[in-house]
């Protein structure tokens, strides 16, 4: 027998109270609800008493894919003001997708454009030329190249990170918002970098590809936390820094490769560095727009992010053998001048100058404090970098074995 209208209303009120108070979720197939704080309490709702439509009307929850993005957009954010700010310049992001990102498909460059074509009759000669050029590249430069490739291959982690920035996510995977389009487009371009370097290393015959693949799997499994905290401000500050860092690293590897006669590798690295440079401009443009709307807010996050220093995306890399793999790889990169502590200081200086941090006016007292702190950072880090690098010059170079190059030392 159906319950009376009074009983139905009371039951609905109880259901709403339980779901809101305990954070419980309804499973649409069984209409069951459980309280996380009261493990023994559970209730099953008979569809003849409370229909799915009645539950949706009262709780504002719908269980179909097409409305999920709208529903999530109405939920509470940790950073509502920040979301409002980035939503305000979404039209600019739309233009970035069309103007900064390249067209996909036939009109964009692909890894195969820079590698031997194994479908051609002269594939053996093409491969032989690549291997002969690679043979002249020293092991220490190969170690840095491999570390850069492993970093690029952890792309799934970085796209996951982008989707944690509030207001920038892609909740259904095909969301047509400007930010979701940017995230997918950026990912599609970045995906080429790891593919190209991976195939080059494989064809070179100089590396233990299985050890490299183990490292990639470990890195993706370990994850990555740059301290963005779901905040789009912090996220774009981080990517503004990191895209420039990867541009510098790839570019310097290419220059050294050319000096050793590997012109093909120089072209590969230059192409990848070009992508990183375009992406850098976009993320820095996003921060410029935030500064126009909320300078105090961005400076607060910039200062806080720098107090913790920038986390490099491959810091958790491991091959399962060397517990200090990242430190050893970084030491080789530092010795070769591919990426050094001075580059870190230079990037901060570039960002301070690019965003004209020192010229900002109308700031709050807290904003002015952060402005002064940030503007002093380049000199501070440069002095620390010079002191550290001078100290290392006096230290004996200790080579390390790398599984990536069959345990040869670099």
In the chain, CATH 1.10.620.20 covers 78-409
* Backbone torsion region of residue 227, taken as left when φ is above 0, otherwise alpha when ψ lies between -120 and 50, otherwise beta: left
Q: Is the pTM of this model over 0.85?
A: no
Annotated binding site: 152, 190, 193, 243, 276, 279
User: Which tokens hold the place of 322?
Assistant: 């060397």
Q: In the predicted model, what is the mean pLDDT of the chain?
A: 88
Compute the distance between CA of residue 216 and CA of residue 5 in angstroms, rounded to an integer.
60
The answer to whether the CB of 253 falls within 8 A of the CB of 148 is yes
Q: Which residue has the higher pLDDT, 46 or 400?
A: 400
pLDDT at 35 over 80: no
- Weakest-pLDDT range from 91-95, 243-247, 388-392: 388-392
> Above pLDDT 90, what percent of the chain?
76
Q: Is the pLDDT of residue 106 over 70?
A: yes
Give the pLDDT score at 345.
96
Lowest mean pLDDT among 37-46, 134-143, 321-330: 37-46
pLDDT tier at 25 (50, 70, 90 boundaries)?
Answer: very low
Catalytic residue annotation: 109, 152, 190, 193, 243, 246, 275-276, 279
Contacts of 57 (CB under 8 A, 6+ apart): none
Q: Which residue has the higher pLDDT, 14 or 326?
A: 326
Residues 6+ apart with CB under 8 A from 264: 114, 129, 130, 133
- The burial class, CB within 10 Å (0-12 / 13-18 / 19+), for 35 is middle
In this structure, which topology does domain 78-409 adopt according to CATH? Ribonucleotide Reductase, subunit A (1.10.620)
Euclidean distance between CA atoms 162 and 276, whole angstroms: 16
Lowest mean pLDDT across 32-41, 98-107, 163-172: 32-41
The residues near 382 (Cβ < 8 Å, ≥ 6 apart) are 342, 345, 346, 349
The annotated binding site for Fe cation is made up of 152, 190, 193, 243, 276, 279
């Amino acid at each position: 027998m159906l319950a009376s209208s009074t009983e139905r209303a009371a039951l609905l009120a109880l259901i709403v109270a339980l779901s809101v108070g305990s954070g419980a979720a309804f499973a649409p197939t069984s209409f069951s609800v459980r309280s996380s704080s009261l493990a023994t309490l559970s209730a099953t709702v008979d569809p003849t008493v409370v229909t799915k439509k009645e539950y949706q009307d009262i709780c504002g929850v719908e269980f179909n894919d097409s409305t999920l993005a709208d529903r999530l957009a109405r939920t509470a954010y940790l950073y509502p003001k920040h979301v409002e700010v980035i939503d305000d310049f979404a039209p600019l992001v739309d233009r970035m997708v069309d103007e900064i990102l390249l067209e996909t498909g036939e009109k964009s460059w692909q890894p195969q454009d820079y590698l031997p074509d194994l479908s051609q009759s002269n594939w053996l000669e093409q491969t032989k030329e690549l291997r002969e050029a690679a043979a002249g590249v020293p092991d220490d430069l190969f170690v840095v190249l491999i570390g850069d490739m492993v970093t690029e291959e952890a792309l799934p982690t970085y796209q996951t990170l982008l989707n944690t920035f509030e207001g920038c996510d892609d909740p259904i995977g095909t969301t047509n918002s400007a930010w979701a389009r940017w995230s997918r487009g950026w990912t599609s371009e970045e995906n080429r970098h790891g593919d190209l370097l991976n195939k080059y290393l494989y064809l070179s015959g100089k590396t233990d590809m299985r050890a490299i693949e183990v490292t990639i799997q470990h890195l993706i499994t370990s994850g990555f936390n740059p301290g963005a905290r779901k905040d789009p401000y912090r996220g774009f500050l981080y990517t503004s820094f990191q895209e420039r860092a990867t541009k510098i690293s790839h570019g310097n590897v290419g220059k050294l490769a050319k000096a050793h006669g590997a012109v093909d590798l120089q072209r590969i690295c230059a192409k990848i560095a070009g992508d990183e440079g375009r992406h850098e401009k976009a993320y820095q443009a996003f921060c410029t727009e935030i500064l126009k709307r909320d300078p105090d807010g961005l400076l607060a996050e910039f200062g806080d992010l720098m107090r913790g220093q920038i986390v490099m995306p491959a810091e958790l890399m491991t091959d399962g053998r060397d517990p200090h793999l990242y430190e050893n790889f970084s030491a080789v990169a530092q010795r070769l001048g591919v990426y050094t502590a001075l580059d870190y200081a230079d990037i901060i200086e570039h960002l301070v100058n690019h965003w004209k941090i020192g010229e900002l006016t109308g700031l709050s007292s807290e904003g002015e404090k952060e402005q002064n702190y940030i503007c002093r950072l380049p000199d501070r880090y440069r002095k620390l970098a010079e002191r550290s690098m001078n100290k290392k010059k006096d230290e004996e170079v200790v080579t390390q074995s790398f599984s990536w190059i069959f345990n040869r030392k670099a």
